[in-house]
Chains A and B, each alone.
Chain A
């Protein structure tokens, strides 16, 4: 098998917390872990989905993948070649290969540039390019995203939200990017416009054999768009597998709750879990305060367990032997403490 397109191993990110949010417990000078040992790999031509609620770290992950943040102690390999974030060249190669489309179409386009010039920003080696060549490339990109030629002369405030996302896409495609990180690309759009953009993304993928990392909180969209899906919860990937596996047989208790809470047009029952929804835990399993299946080992952070192609970070899937080991360790520790 060929090398995976992109491989991410043990990606962690933390931010310094500057101000106290709310009141009470002083967070000053402390760090907040936003991504915690995230690992995944993407194959060529695949759409890999990352689903997570607000604050789970989706945008931070997206920004890291395009070289905006520089993670420490993690391995990111592009076509098998490891990226050294200390080397400018390496970061540039990451930026050249991976494009990004953000959720907010207003904020991501310079309102004072013509659409034509915004798409031009995406072209590599802009200076070296002949004028005619540049123009051809821009018109090609606009055509790919089905943006009417007339709009090339417009400015961002004059075009609709859906058109803005088309411009963002054209900008990354003009640069010949092979991997696109789509961070909630349709979340700010009306449903009928979202549908148009989803159709466009499917068409582009087929024509250009590019890969997508599709990030969203919308389960219906992720189910429709992706080959594989990973579930992000407060910075941790709790489960990863093929889309069908994940939706039909969710393994992790969080995935289970999430998928059952989702309503669709054909299943409109408001399912609600009877158990409490607690805050994420900073010790042991991150979902333990909400998990109805919680048992003794959950005081320890579970490892990622691989079973039949599904990766799941939950003690329920650990072998009895290993569990016994963990339980006796915990008991011993408790015993020592008393």
Chain B
């Protein structure tokens, strides 16, 4: 592709996270949860973050929307720019919600809902914030339409209750309905569909994608499910033990993963029938962040590990257009 300065300006980054490092610090220990994490999301982009449990995905999302608990969390370094403005909260938590145009569907759906207001009142409030000129009758209409969109059948029943009275799946649907009303520029989804039935899950993902097209918002999808990420996202960041180890276009990373961890992640997903033999994975498990292995954190599990891997952390390097890998093999 030719370098076109005009085009570069047009495709401006909506969100840019640069070198973000976060610790969790308590009296007796410090845990390095994120290290030099950089990601960017363009307008209209759908970006995925995949990684196993404890790799720092939710922490990253919480830092972006400004709900990290500081302390115990501490920002060591980094910048987070949204529409060019630095929004990283270093001292206290103060949500970048709504006003800033970012919203999030949390892994634990109770987090997105306010426990002291009924479902109806929260949704109504969201509409009022979005557009104060909408009258009461219209608000009721919008509420009901959005609840039906997330496949809630007993709309009246759900409206009158409080979040804790709903099942996990219902809560998740209500928080998605809320986001549909708020129409954010950036929507962060942290494991948005866990606990929902498969068919409902896929319908809701589709709904979110349609909304994204309709209001040309951007999506950051956090998941441990590579196939889900592949079905939603155009670009992907793979995280391991608090670092981005590979990034690139979804298609390329999936068809030819470079980092040994990405390769293992891909090999872990059963694809065919039983006679296709055992899954190609090594032993070991994700590291305990309190006792990170030296050098490349993946080295104890890596089939390609070399002497240098035990000593020095590999930096994220551009290996080809749009693709970055943090691994000594690509040095």
Task: Name A's B-contacting residues (CB within 8 A).
Answer: 22-24, 47, 53-54, 146, 160-162, 190-196, 198-199, 202-203, 217, 219-221, 223-227, 243-244, 247, 257-258, 261-266, 268-273, 277-279, 290
Chain A residues near B166 (CB, 8 Å)? 22
Find out whether the CB atom of B271 lies under 8 angstroms from the CB atom of A265.
yes
Find out whether the CB atom of B267 lies under 8 angstroms from the CB atom of A195.
yes
Find out whether the CB atom of B206 lies under 8 angstroms from the CB atom of A199.
no
Chain A residues near B270 (CB, 8 Å)? 195, 198, 220-221, 223-225
Find out whether the CB atom of B285 lies under 8 angstroms from the CB atom of A277.
no
Find out whether the CB atom of A199 lies under 8 angstroms from the CB atom of B273.
no
Cα A270 to Cα B206 with chains together (Å): 7
Q: What are 23 A-to-B residue pairs whose CB atoms are below 8 Å?
A: A23-B157, A23-B165, A24-B157, A54-B197, A146-B283, A160-B285, A191-B268, A193-B285, A195-B267, A196-B281, A199-B278, A203-B278, A219-B198, A220-B270, A224-B276, A261-B199, A261-B201, A261-B202, A263-B227, A263-B230, A270-B209, A270-B231, A277-B151
Find out whether the CB atom of A224 lies under 8 angstroms from the CB atom of B169.
no
Find out whether the CB atom of A195 lies under 8 angstroms from the CB atom of B268.
yes
In the complex, whether B254 has a CB less than 8 A from a CB of chain A is: yes
15 further interface pairs, Cβ-Cβ under 8 Å (given A192-B52, A265-B226): A23-B160, A146-B283, A191-B265, A192-B285, A192-B286, A195-B279, A196-B281, A202-B278, A217-B198, A220-B270, A226-B274, A258-B199, A264-B269, A270-B209, A277-B151
In the complex, whether B195 has a CB less than 8 A from a CB of chain A is: yes
Of all chain A residues, the one with the shortest Cβ separation from B280 is A195
Find out whether the CB atom of A272 lies under 8 angstroms from the CB atom of B206.
yes
B223-235 toward A: CB 8 Å interface, digit per residue (1/0)? 0111110111000
In the complex, whether B153 has a CB less than 8 A from a CB of chain A is: yes
Cα A257 to Cα B199 with chains together (Å): 7
Cα A14 to Cα B53 with chains together (Å): 36
B179-198 toward A: CB 8 Å interface, digit per residue (1/0)? 00000000000000001011
Chain A residues near B264 (CB, 8 Å)? 192
Interface residues of B in 255-291 (CB under 8 A from A): 264-274, 276, 278-279, 281, 283, 285-286
What bracket does the count of chain B residues touching chain A fall in? 35 or more
Please indicate which of the listed interface residues B160, B169, B265, B281 has the most CB atoms of chain A within 10 Å of its own CB. B281
Cα A271 to Cα B199 with chains together (Å): 9
Of all chain B residues, the one with the shortest Cβ separation from A162 is B285
CB distance from B6 to the nearest CB of A (A): 33
Find out whether the CB atom of A279 lies under 8 angstroms from the CB atom of B153.
yes
Of all chain B residues, the one with the shortest Cβ separation from A196 is B281
Chain A residues near B283 (CB, 8 Å)? 146, 196
The 7 tightest CB contacts between A and B, nearest first, are: A224-B270, A195-B268, A190-B52, A195-B279, A268-B231, A268-B230, A191-B268
- The interface residues of chain B, by DSSP majority, are classed as helix
CB distance from B244 to the nearest CB of A (A): 18
Cα A203 to Cα B278 with chains together (Å): 9
Find out whether the CB atom of B268 lies under 8 angstroms from the CB atom of A22.
no
Find out whether the CB atom of A223 lies under 8 angstroms from the CB atom of B273.
yes
Cα A219 to Cα B272 with chains together (Å): 11
Find out whether the CB atom of A272 lies under 8 angstroms from the CB atom of B202.
yes
Cα A161 to Cα B46 with chains together (Å): 32
Chain A residues near B228 (CB, 8 Å)? 263
Find out whether the CB atom of B272 lies under 8 angstroms from the CB atom of A224.
yes
Find out whether the CB atom of B198 lies under 8 angstroms from the CB atom of A261.
yes
Of all chain B residues, the one with the shortest Cβ separation from A163 is B285
* A23-B161, A190-B53, A271-B202 known; A54+B273 contact, CB < 8 A: no
Chain A residues near B157 (CB, 8 Å)? 22-24
B200-213 toward A: CB 8 Å interface, digit per residue (1/0)? 11110110010000
Cα A319 to Cα B108 with chains together (Å): 49
Cα A149 to Cα B40 with chains together (Å): 46
Chain B residues near A277 (CB, 8 Å)? 151, 197, 199-200, 203
CB distance from A77 to the nearest CB of B (A): 27
Chain B residues near A223 (CB, 8 Å)? 270, 272-273
CB distance from A271 to the nearest CB of B (A): 7
CB distance from B63 to the nearest CB of A (A): 22
CB distance from B230 to the nearest CB of A (A): 4
Of all chain A residues, the one with the shortest Cβ separation from B200 is A277
CB distance from A272 to the nearest CB of B (A): 5
Chain B residues near A247 (CB, 8 Å)? 273
Find out whether the CB atom of A53 lies under 8 angstroms from the CB atom of B197.
yes
* A191-B265, A270-B231 known; A224+B273 contact, CB < 8 A: yes
Chain A residues near B231 (CB, 8 Å)? 263, 268-270
Cα A192 to Cα B254 with chains together (Å): 16
Chain B residues near A193 (CB, 8 Å)? 285
Of all chain A residues, the one with the shortest Cβ separation from B225 is A191
Chain B residues near A160 (CB, 8 Å)? 285
Chain A residues near B224 (CB, 8 Å)? 190-191
Cα A247 to Cα B286 with chains together (Å): 33
CB distance from B126 to the nearest CB of A (A): 22
CB distance from B161 to the nearest CB of A (A): 6
Find out whether the CB atom of B198 lies under 8 angstroms from the CB atom of A265.
no
Cα A193 to Cα B271 with chains together (Å): 16
CB distance from B201 to the nearest CB of A (A): 7
Find out whether the CB atom of B274 lies under 8 angstroms from the CB atom of A227.
yes
Find out whether the CB atom of A54 lies under 8 angstroms from the CB atom of B200.
no
Cα A273 to Cα B151 with chains together (Å): 13
Chain B residues near A290 (CB, 8 Å)? 199
Cα A191 to Cα B283 with chains together (Å): 12
Find out whether the CB atom of B268 lies under 8 angstroms from the CB atom of A272.
no
Chain B residues near A225 (CB, 8 Å)? 270, 274
Cα A193 to Cα B281 with chains together (Å): 9
* A54-B195, A268-B227, A269-B231 known; A192+B206 contact, CB < 8 A: no
Cα A261 to Cα B283 with chains together (Å): 32
* A220-B270, A270-B209, A278-B153 known; A265+B254 contact, CB < 8 A: yes
Find out whether the CB atom of A258 lies under 8 angstroms from the CB atom of B198.
yes
Of all chain B residues, the one with the shortest Cβ separation from A262 is B198
Of all chain B residues, the one with the shortest Cβ separation from A257 is B199
Cα A47 to Cα B198 with chains together (Å): 23
B30-66 toward A: CB 8 Å interface, digit per residue (1/0)? 0000000000000000000000110000000000000
